[in-house]
Amino acid sequence: MIAARFRKLGSARQVFLSLAAEQFHFPRPSDGKSWKRTTLVAGQLRKSYGHGKPVEQWELMLQHHHESGIERAEFERNQKQLAVNPYH
């Protein structure tokens, strides 16, 4: 469902907005698989959450684990598309 929308819309933000419009709720990551960043903005420390780790730093990648998963080639295409999207 999400992969098909991404192919159609070409932007993670547009996928998120389309799913949010349908009241599809996303859980906030809390299992340590994403990074927290702290930056200094106008003299104040700001924290932002949910920054993914680069694929090279993943501890594990399960391919063909879920029936509705995408193939590695599509995953890599999606990563390239996300890298050029201005609003990820």
- Give me the domain span that covers residue 61: 2-84
Residues facing residue 48 across a β-bridge = 37
Q: What sign has the CA pseudo-torsion 37, 5, 19, 75?
A: negative
Taking alpha carbons only, the member of 21, 10, 7, 19 closest to residue 87 is 10
Quote the pLDDT of residue 51: 72
* Count of structural domains within the chain: 1
Which are the contacts of 85, defined by CB distance < 8 A and separation ≥ 6? 10, 11, 12, 13
In this prediction the pTM is 0.51
Q: What sign has the CA pseudo-torsion 39, 45, 88, 78?
A: positive
pLDDT in tens, 65-86: 777 678 888 888 988 888 887 7
